[in-house]
Amino acid sequence: MPDVLISEVGPRDGLQSVPRTMPTRDKLAWIDALHASGLREIEVCSFVPAKLLPQMADAAEVVAHALTLPGLIVMALVPNLRGAQAAIAAGVHKITIPASASEAHSLANVRKTREAMVEEVRQIVKYRNDVAPHVKIECGMSTAFGCTIQGEVKEDDVIWIANEMAEAGVDESGLSDTTGMANPAQVRRLFTRLHSEIGDRMGAAHMHNTRGLGLANCLAAYDAGVRTFDSSLAGLGGCPYAPGASGNVVTEDLVFMFEAMGVRTGVDLDVLIAARAPLMAGLPGEPLYGMLPEAGLPKGWRS
C-alpha cells in the first residue's frame, strides 16, 4: 500500500482553467495514461452548467469511461445539490465540494454566502445518505490561506467552516491554497489545528505553486499528518474565480519528492512523465510546467 495518496486533479481543475476545450477523446486518452502510471484517485470532471464551463460539458461521458479503469477512485467536483445529483447519477465514487473560508471568494465562486453554502452541503449530504450512501463526500476549503479578493483570511474562519462541514456530515475536509498565498509555517500550523478539531476527517492538501512554495507547503502538510495530496500533471490549472491564482502543484515533481524521501506513492515516474504526451496532443501549445520532466530522473533511479 502507498504511504500517501496522490489525487490527480488535472482533468478537472486543470482543464476548466484553460480557455480551450479538450476534445473528449483526448480527455479519455489522458485519463487512461494517468491511470496507467499508478494514480488511483483522479478528479475527472465537474458537474456544472455547460454554459458556464463548456470544458466540462462531457462530464457524464468522461465519468462513464473512468469507471471502466480498474482500482480507480473516480471523483468529480460539484458546487451544489443539482451538480451532486448529476454526479451521483453518473456513478462517481466520490464528490468534492468547494466551500470557501473567504466570504468574498464564496460569493464569486459559488454565488452564495458561506452560511448558505453550509446549508447547501447539508442538502447534498442528505441526498447522498438517501440515494447513494456508498459515495464519499469531501469538502475542499478554498482560500484557506488567503484570498486575492479580500486579502487575509482568519484561521478561526477556516476552523469554523471545517466544524460546520463536519457537523453537516461530510466524510473529510481538506485545505486549499486556492490563491497560492500559503507558506510552510502557516500550512503546518493550520493543518495541525484542523486535525485537533476534526481528527481523522482531515482531508487533502490542495496547494498551488503560484509563488514557488507548492512543494514546501506539501511537505509541511505531510509533517502535520496529511496523507492525501492534490496535484495536476504539468501544473495545469488554477481557480478561474481567484485572479492571478495560477499553478497547481506539479504531479511529477510532487511524486518525485516523496519517492526520493522513501515515501511510497504507488506511481511510476517514467509512465507519469509519458502521460504528458496525450495532454499535449489534446491541448497543443498549452504551457506545461515541472522541473523533473526537464531535468530527468537521477542516474541510477529505480521506479
The catalytic residue among 139, 147, 218, 239 is 239
Q: Which three cell numbers stand for residue 6?
A: 496522490
Q: What is the DSSP string of 141-166?
A: EETTT-BTTTB---HHHHHHHHHHHH
Q: Is 239 a catalytic residue?
A: yes
d(CA 15, CA 297): 27
Q: Three cell numbers at 97?
A: 465540494
Q: Are 276 and 293 in contact (CB under 8 A)?
A: yes
**Which of 96, 84, 137, 80 is closest to 12 using CA atoms?**
96
Instruction: To the nearest 10°, report the CA torsion of 38, 39, 40, 44.
Output: -140
**Which residues does the annotation mark as catalytic?**
239
